[in-house]
Amino acid sequence: MSGPDPVTDPRLAPPHNPATQTAVSEDPPRLILASASPRRQLLLREAGYHFIIHPANIDEERYPVGYLPSDVAKFLAEAKADAVAAQFPNDIILAADTVVAFGDRLLGKPRDAADAKRMLELLSGTTHIVITGVAVQRKIANFRKSARVMSAVRMRQLFPNEIARYVASNEWEGKAGGYGIQDADPFVTRVSGSHRNIVGLPMTVTIQLLSEAGIAPPTREHI
């Protein structure tokens, strides 16, 4: 994507005021990614989309008590889309949230190195589920749809020195479950389901939702 960085460029248009907007604008809607994740940005760019980056500012630790991990992923994706759609009601907002489920136990992003170590020790030698919730909204057109995708991941047994070395590398930061399948040594031996879902954005579902919202896929090569 050429041109100024949409995250830092001061020329980014100020938020629309939904109270004063009563009809769909004649201007074509922009695609806004409500995420700072470089992995999601890369997947969208690989698919040929042009978009603006505007991360959602929500507390990812706040969700209804008793929700299963799959419910949490969908709830947080929708909450992120809600937050950004309120600022850009004429644009199409894409949001996602990825969690790891170990049984009914939810593993989100580690809070610190000790939390990352605890997660890796828990997942070592097990099969767990990676769940991504995807939400697409265009507030002024009353378009609001979401979905969730699940993939199974088998992790090999990890030695304590491997966990310590990985935690010291800080590669766990910002990654659900404390690891990334795209890492140099992701510890993963087998995957069932969408690989891109595990990275953080299941593209088949994402392309479908964006198409329904009015943004046709530029290419089908990376579905």
Give catalytic residue positions.
Answer: 97
Query: Counting every residue, how long is the chain?
Result: 223
Residue 208, class by beta-carbon neighbours within 10 Å (0-12 exposed, 13-18 middle, 19+ buried)?
middle
With contact defined as beta carbons under 8 Å apart, do 203 and 196 qualify?
Answer: yes
Q: How far is CA 185 from CA 54, 151, 203, in A?
A: 30, 19, 24
